Amino acid sequence: MTNTDLRSAVDGRVLLPGDDGFEQASKAWNLSVEQPVAAVVEVAGVDDVAAVARYARRSGLAVSAQPSGHGASGDTDGVILLRTGRLDGVEVNPEERTARVGAGAKWGQVLAAAGSHGLTGLAGSSPVVSVTGYTLGGGVSWFSRKHGFAADSVRAFDVVTAGGEHAKITADSDPDLFWALRGGGGDFALVTAVEFGLYPAPSLYGGRVMWPGHRTREVFDAFLEITDEAPDELAVWFNRLQFPQAPPMVALDVAFLGDEAEGRTLLARLDKIDDVIADKRGPVAVANLGDITAEPTDPAPGRSRAELLTGLDDAAIEILVGQPIEPLIGLQIRHLGGALAASRPGAGPSGPVAEPYLLYMLGLALNPELSAAVGAKQAGVAEGLGASVSGRKPYTMLTRGERAAAAFSEETIARLREIKRARDPHNVLRANFPVVA
């Protein structure tokens, strides 16, 4: 097969190495991740997805779908990069409390559509992350303590198989594939649309409260106190922040699936901490959920690492709270528990998360030296935490150099690999983090 054959097989735009626009089109969201792909196809519709799958199989290539480029690992040698941004339709059925979204839709679009009906999906912190990629990786939401992983709410997937066939996958039509797609990543089929349940959100309360760095221990103590008795509707994330040329700061990000009066009562402990730099707590429209953390909405070079924590003893607290975080720009501890820790019949590969906390560390990777320093700091923190680090990681937060096996139990990864071999024996499909290393 030739590149001419690929261009003639699809209606969308095909970009090859050397073409104008190829370099930009092949970039990951994390600009420090290089993606040496064989081609980029910006699909015009679902038929293009099937055509690319068939072309790749005939040509001995692989296909990797990246709606937005989040979560890229750089494992793209010999890969056709599938951009599905034009498949961005969003349909909300308020009576059935469901949404059906195309593979290119982003969470901000879904929240805007659902919020107008007093509903929400299980979105994470960023409005520009694709719903499909996030959900295939499990999806840890603001509201996961109440409703579990985002993947647990999926009702159906529209897919293209490794053989280039269209199919609708449900728990009844194909229980094995349906299970794998609900948190096992994109290794098993090319998803073109997802249908999932929505949840009542007649009112939300939340925002960020920020203090200068010398209040870090006091804020952390408040974080522990609040989360010790927090209802499942309340999510609280502790943040240490060290931006370039700025003094250290500490913040709590909060989201409460309830009204303002109850939210203020639950968070009254924060009003006792002096020197507040900013307090943005208040009623939050579902469509504006992404404003809480105000994460950048443009690509940038960075280096991250996530760890699930079994607990926070005095030694762990000293490492996380008592020591400088430079060269990191952020160290975050999310309170988990609730529905995430429960055994959920019919749940996907993510399974129960017994660990009560998620640690996320982020630094800039503007050059190799800074990236190496950030990586060394992250490794040092993880090593210092010792037994507090469980060794398991959420699939959706894996990063370069890590493997899918780190996200699952041995039994689960074995089942995922069995499904992969049965559904894609020629390895036509390649997730950011393949289940078969």
Interval 116-135: pLDDT, tens: 999 999 999 999 999 999 99
- Encode the chain in three state secondary structure: CCHHHHHHHCCCEEECCCCCCHHHHCCCCECCCCCCCCEEEECCCHHHHHHHHHHHHHHCCEEEECCCCCCCCCCCCCEEEEECCCCCCEEEECCCCEEEEECCCEHHHHHHHHHCCCEECCCCCCCCCEHHHHHHCCCCCCCHHHHCCHHHHEEEEEEECCCCCEEEECCCCCHHHHHHHCCCCCCCCEEEEEEEECEECCCCEEEEEEEEHHHHHHHHHHHHHHHHCCCCCEEEEEEEECCCCCCCEEEEEEEECCCHHHHHHHCHHHHHCCCCCEECCEECCHHHHHHCCCCCCCCECEEEEEEEECCCCHHHHHHHHHCCCCCCCEEEEEECCHHHHCCCCCCCCCCCCCCCEEEEEEEECCCHHHHHHHHHHHHHHHHHHHHHECCCCCHHHCCCCCCHHHHCCHHHHHHHHHHHHHHCCCCCECCCCCCCC
- Average pLDDT (230-257) is 97
- Average pLDDT (275-296) is 97
Do both 313 and 228 map to the same domain? Answer: yes
Do both 56 and 140 map to the same domain? Answer: no
Do both 18 and 117 map to the same domain? Answer: no
Do both 235 and 378 map to the same domain? Answer: yes
Q: What sign for the dihedral angle of Cα 408, 413, 419, 423?
A: positive
Do both 340 and 221 map to the same domain? Answer: yes
Q: Distance (Å, rounded) from C-alpha 183 to C-alpha 174?
A: 16
Start-to-end CA span in the chain (Å): 27
The mean of the pLDDT values for the chain is 96
Residue finishing a domain among 83, 114, 147 = 83
Q: Is 433 inside any structural domain?
A: no
Do both 166 and 196 map to the same domain? Answer: yes
- What integer pLDDT is reported at residue 3 of this predicted model? 62
- Average pLDDT (32-38) is 95
Q: What is the CATH number of the domain that holds 18?
A: 3.30.43.10
Q: Distance (Å, rounded) from C-alpha 327 to C-alpha 363?
A: 7
Q: To 5 degrees, how large is the angle CA 130–CA 133–CA 134?
A: 80
Residue finishing a domain among 36, 62, 83 = 83
The first and second tokens of residue 74, run together, are 């750089």
Q: Is 340 inside any structural domain?
A: yes
Do both 282 and 298 map to the same domain? Answer: yes
Do both 357 and 269 map to the same domain? Answer: yes
CB–CB of 84/45 below 8 Å? Answer: no
- Average pLDDT (349-371) is 97
Q: Is 436 inside any structural domain?
A: no
- Average pLDDT (197-204) is 97
Residue finishing a domain among 18, 49, 83 = 83
- Average pLDDT (397-418) is 96
Q: Is 430 inside any structural domain?
A: no
Do both 349 and 418 map to the same domain? Answer: no
Q: Distance (Å, rounded) from C-alpha 346 to C-alpha 182?
A: 10
Q: What is the CATH number of the domain that holds 214?
A: 3.40.462.20
Q: Binning pLDDT at 50, 70 and 90, where does residue 1 land?
A: very low
Do both 326 and 414 map to the same domain? Answer: no
Q: Is 144 inside any structural domain?
A: yes
Do both 338 and 278 map to the same domain? Answer: yes
Q: Is 435 inside any structural domain?
A: no
- Average pLDDT (257-262) is 97
Q: Distance (Å, rounded) from C-alpha 101 to C-alpha 214?
A: 45
- What integer pLDDT is reported at residue 34 of this predicted model? 94
CB–CB of 141/150 below 8 Å? Answer: yes
- What integer pLDDT is reported at residue 4 of this predicted model? 67
- What integer pLDDT is reported at residue 5 of this predicted model? 85
Q: Is 193 inside any structural domain?
A: yes
Find the domain containing 118 and state its range.
Answer: 90-200+409-423
Q: What is the CATH number of the domain that holds 103?
A: 3.30.465.10
- What integer pLDDT is reported at residue 125 of this predicted model? 95
- What integer pLDDT is reported at residue 345 of this predicted model? 76
- What integer pLDDT is reported at residue 272 of this predicted model? 97
- Average pLDDT (160-180) is 97
Q: Is 321 inside any structural domain?
A: yes
Do both 46 and 119 map to the same domain? Answer: no
Count CB-CB contacts under 10 A for residue 356.
Answer: 18
Domain count, the chain: 3
Q: Distance (Å, rounded) from C-alpha 58 to C-alpha 164?
A: 11
